[in-house]
Amino acid sequence: EAGVAQSPRYKIIEKRQSVAFWCNPISGHATLYWYQQILGQGPKLLIQFQNNGVVDDSQLPKDRFSAERLKGVDSTLKIQPAKLEDSAVYLCASSFGSDRGRYNEQFFGPGTRLTVL
């Protein structure tokens, strides 16, 4: 079974530039998550999709971050414009999705390391 794919693996940009990250979840997984992991911290949920709908984006800085999952499969996370404090690893994860309260573990991609200069 193929895992969660992410690209690029590394990205270096200057502040005020734009950047986009791509994620392809495991086939059949309805739920997709984007996390931000700042060095020395645990992953922080940015946005969660159930199929192509957003179910939680309460911690997404909407003035500069946006994400979409148009066909309910792969997803793109964009930052525009980037700030120095956006330097982090951006992790994508997927799961089968909540179903009447049953737990479904998350599977993580390798992440994209973003450096903003």
Partner 1 sequence: AQSVAQPEDQVNVAEGNPLTVKCTYSVSGNPYLFWYVQYPNRGLQFLLKYITGDNLVKGSYGFEAEFNKSQTSFHLKKPSALVSDSALYFCAVRVRGSGTYKYIFGTGTRLKVLA
Give the footprint of partner 1 on this chain (CB under 8 A). Answer: 4, 6, 31, 33, 40-45, 48, 50, 55-56, 58, 91, 93, 98, 103, 105-111, 113
Q: Which is nearer to partner 1, 17 or 22 (CB)?
A: 22
* Shortest distance (Å) from residue 1 CB to partner 1: 14
Q: Which is nearer to partner 1, 38 or 84 (CB)?
A: 38
Neighbours of 1 (CB within 10 A): 6
Do the Cβ atoms of 58 and 47 come closer than 8 Å?
A: no
Give the C-alpha separation, 64 to 93, whole Å: 21
Q: Which is nearer to partner 1, 18 or 98 (CB)?
A: 98
Nearest to 76 by CA among 85, 65, 84, 89: 65
